[in-house]
Chains A and B, each alone.
Chain A
Amino acid sequence: MATTTLSKPALQPKGSAETMPNRRPKTPLSRILATVIVAVLAVAWLVPFAWATATALKSETDAASTPISWIPASGFTLDAFAKVLQSGNIPTWTLNSLFTSAAITAITLVISASVAYAISRIDFRGKKMLMGVIVASIIVPPPVLIIPLFQQMQALNLIDTYWALILPQVIHSPMVFVLKKFFDQIPRELEEAALMDGAGRLRIFTTIVLPLSRPILAAVAIFVFIGAWNNFLWPFIATNESSLLTLPVGLQTIKSAYGIQYAQNMASALLAALPLIVVFLFFQRQIIRGVATTGLAGT
């Protein structure tokens, strides 16, 4: 059974795993060989970014001219970016994505942490059943729900609203499980002392448990946020109005509107990729650890 046992450090914050080999020293030759292979693959992995960037910096004529070339005949230009920013809705869509992802993350954290706390700490009737149902729900694939959810949102008159985007995306059963496992590890003595002092459950939860759980809360938040930011199918179904679209869905409409304007297509794709890539560059360590921590538990 695979669970997230919180025992051994996996990816160290700083130090050994980062800078030193954590195996016995290899022969230099094999390590050089490995470095070369990995470096070649890493370069290959960056090609799509590089090619998109090169295309986005060309004029439309250069982008569509054969034979293809990395260096455009008439020089690099920022035209495509300027056009996309002027005519498109990319800033609006970015705000929509930011807002809905943040709202989804915030709601998910609040409701998941509190139910996980209850299951971990409070001895109440029906809790086994509750946890059982939550764990069982992990198996339900979201695409199975699109038809009834659409119908439900239609009946509530919420299609084409932020509500329709946010509400159905806040159930992350695996995250409840991850949080519960973490809460289980927090020493009970800390809470019991507070209980003796007459502190209420809510107070203990917010002033003792949550602050101690920052790392796992951050990990869950990162995971949920990335998932929400990139989600396509449900936002694609729930919204039609251009000013309400999230970035991934909006991009899909740009592709058809511009048709064969390759430089502008690539410029919009890069602009859409930018926010998360920038965040990643700043918080690489946290994001990687967050994903590794929650990853095996699923989204």
Chain B
Amino acid sequence: MKQVDSRPMQMTRRQLLLGGGVLAGSLSLGASLTGCGGAAQAAGNDIRFWHLLSGGDGIKMMAMIDKANADHPDFRIKPTVLAWGTPYYTKLAMASAGGRPPEVAVMHAARVPGYAPGGLLDAWDLDLLAEFGVRPEDFGSRIWEKSQFNGQVFSLALDSHPFVMLYNTEVADKAGVLGSDGRLADISSPSQFLEVSRELQRVTGKHGLSYGYLGDGAQMWRLFYTLYRQHGADFILEPGRPAQVDRDVAIDCLEFITSLLDNTISTKSGDGGTAIAEFASQGSGLLFTGVWELPTMKTAGVPFGASTIPTLFGTPAAFADSHSFVLPHQATLDESRRRGVYQFVASMLKNSLSWAEAGHIPAYQPVVNSPEYAALKPQADYAHAADIINYDPVAWFTGSGSDFQGYFAENVQNVFLGRDKAADGWDAFMKRINTVLAMPNPV
């Protein structure tokens, strides 16, 4: 069989020489690039810092890093930004397992149980931290509790960022649900919430509430878990045994959420972007969202206030997570760099007022208690959320952007869309979770 021939492919000597030259040139260039054995080598005081904050948060973070670099000539932070969620956590685990991870990284506090036990993280040294003026009592109690794992401190929270409710003050006023203090009137039962939402809908003519969840497991979980915890029910995940949950409460919560998605109170099938755009263009009176959307709404110029999600089921509760600093485990530890990391983190905590501008509640109490923070509106209106925050159930596979939230989406999205019964969706989710719990913990 005849195929392709190579003979006519004459390369002239000149071309070959050129090719060889390029090859040799780049080889020698690379040799100088590789330096010591070709390993990732940073300059003496460079500190590699990974985070997952993009958009408005990313810009804020960049500014804070620039300030830290300017204030502290002893180190130089070199940030790397990776995509939020699975891609970030996958790469962080790979880098840590590989032995040359960044010196410091941001991690959601709820993800720590998936990293700490396997030796992927190093614990913080509280004495060294105190040297730079950061002490345990500087953190809110729920946040500090969350920073512990197996009796050691593995994560230092920069913030807590609860799931909250924004309300359009103009629309609320017209609907007659704005209190005399300019805040939304208290709502304390499911039926009252439905009523208020319908009032707001009559004013906007579109929807009362904006809540986008399509294709976003985190967003579905945040609202569900807020309401679930408001019932005072537990959610305990222990490897080797089935999940301990209150099935009736869970189904109740799913049914309540589904009742909101009736195309009147809220659209049946909206995604995050649509919900934000709708609230920003005054197409609704309420928005369920993370605090991090605050700057977007300020930019949009909507007249709005913020509060925690109303306590509809008795117990105040809000889903939250914390952006926390962690120390990925180094195969070979550079002491002076690690000191630089402590200094950097202390500086970030002390300057977290500018982080609060992005909507987050600073974890560092001296900042929260400062008059400057009290003057931040509407941030100060939900600062108390830090006392009612609830992190994800503790397990190696839970936390922001985790498989756990993915499983939730797979089974619950069709319930929200009205295609599946709440009980069926919930049971399928539990079946999935119990399968994972039955397997040996890979961490």
Q: Does B associate with A? A: yes
Check if B331 is an interface residue, CB within 8 A of chain A: yes
Interface residues on A, range: 35 or more
> Are the C-beta atoms of B1 and A162 separated by less than 8 Å?
no
Query: In angstroms, how far is the closest chain B Cβ from the Cβ of A295?
Result: 7
Q: Identify which of A161, A237, A253 contacts B40 (C-beta below 8 A).
A: A161
Check if B83 is an interface residue, CB within 8 A of chain A: yes
Complex alpha-carbon distance, A292 and B5, angstroms: 8
- Kindly specify which of B19-27, B138-146, B164-172, B254-262 makes contact with the partner chain: B19-27
Residues of B contacting A290 in the complex (Cβ-Cβ under 8 angstroms): 9
Complex alpha-carbon distance, A256 and B51, angstroms: 11
Check if A205 is an interface residue, CB within 8 A of chain B: no
Residues of B contacting A106 in the complex (Cβ-Cβ under 8 angstroms): 23, 27
> Are the C-beta atoms of A242 and B94 separated by less than 8 Å?
no
B window 1-41: CB within 8 A of A: 1-11, 15-16, 19, 22-23, 26-27, 29-30, 33-34, 37-40
Residues of B contacting A103 in the complex (Cβ-Cβ under 8 angstroms): 27, 30
Complex alpha-carbon distance, A147 and B363, angstroms: 39
Query: In angstroms, how far is the closest chain A Cβ from the Cβ of B68?
Result: 18
> Are the C-beta atoms of B15 and A215 separated by less than 8 Å?
no
Query: In angstroms, how far is the closest chain B Cβ from the Cβ of A218?
Result: 5
Residues of B contacting A163 in the complex (Cβ-Cβ under 8 angstroms): 37-38
Query: In angstroms, how far is the closest chain B Cβ from the Cβ of A289?
Result: 4
- Kindly specify which of A22-30, A53-61, A62-70, A93-101 makes contact with the partner chain: A93-101
> Are the C-beta atoms of A154 and B99 separated by less than 8 Å?
yes
> Are the C-beta atoms of A218 and B27 separated by less than 8 Å?
no
> Are the C-beta atoms of A286 and B15 separated by less than 8 Å?
yes
A window 183-204: CB within 8 A of B: none
- Kindly specify which of A4-12, A114-122, A169-177 makes contact with the partner chain: A4-12
Check if A296 is an interface residue, CB within 8 A of chain B: yes
Check if A102 is an interface residue, CB within 8 A of chain B: yes
B window 345-396: CB within 8 A of A: none
Known: A154-B98, A221-B19, A243-B40. A12 touches B83 (CB 8 A): no
Query: In angstroms, how far is the closest chain B Cβ from the Cβ of A245?
Result: 10
Check if B263 is an interface residue, CB within 8 A of chain A: no
Check if A168 is an interface residue, CB within 8 A of chain B: no
Check if B441 is an interface residue, CB within 8 A of chain A: no
Residues of A contacting B100 in the complex (Cβ-Cβ under 8 angstroms): 159-160, 240-241
Residues of B contacting A99 in the complex (Cβ-Cβ under 8 angstroms): 26-27, 29-30, 33
Check if A182 is an interface residue, CB within 8 A of chain B: yes
B window 53-99: CB within 8 A of A: 54-55, 58, 78, 80-84, 87, 91, 94-95, 97-99
Residues of A contacting B99 in the complex (Cβ-Cβ under 8 angstroms): 154, 157, 159-160
Instruction: Name the residue of chain A whose CB is nearest to the CB of B23.
Output: A102
Residues of A contacting B30 in the complex (Cβ-Cβ under 8 angstroms): 95, 98-100, 102-103, 162
Instruction: Name the residue of chain A whose CB is nearest to the CB of B84.
Output: A256
A window 139-158: CB within 8 A of B: 150, 153-154, 157
Known: A154-B97, A182-B6, A219-B9. A161 touches B29 (CB 8 A): no
Known: A161-B40, A243-B40, A253-B80. A95 touches B16 (CB 8 A): no
Residues of B contacting A286 in the complex (Cβ-Cβ under 8 angstroms): 9, 11, 15
A window 11-69: CB within 8 A of B: 11-13
Known: A99-B33, A256-B87. A6 touches B7 (CB 8 A): yes
Instruction: Name the residue of chain B whose CB is nearest to the CB of A296.
Output: B3
Query: In angstroms, how far is the closest chain A Cβ from the Cβ of B334?
Result: 15
Residues of A contacting B37 in the complex (Cβ-Cβ under 8 angstroms): 161, 163
Complex alpha-carbon distance, A219 and B84, angstroms: 42
Check if B48 is an interface residue, CB within 8 A of chain A: yes
> Are the C-beta atoms of B16 and A257 separated by less than 8 Å?
no
Check if A86 is an interface residue, CB within 8 A of chain B: no
A-B contact pairs, 8 of them (CB 8 A): A9-B5, A11-B9, A161-B34, A243-B40, A257-B58, A259-B55, A289-B9, A293-B6
Known: A7-B5, A215-B10. 13 other contacts (CB 8 A): A5-B1, A5-B2, A95-B26, A102-B23, A105-B23, A160-B98, A160-B99, A161-B38, A162-B34, A182-B6, A215-B11, A218-B19, A240-B91
Contact residues of A with B, CB < 8 Å? 1-13, 95-96, 98-100, 102-103, 105-106, 150, 153-154, 157, 159-163, 182, 214-216, 218-219, 221, 237, 240-244, 253, 255-260, 283, 286, 289-290, 292-293, 295-296
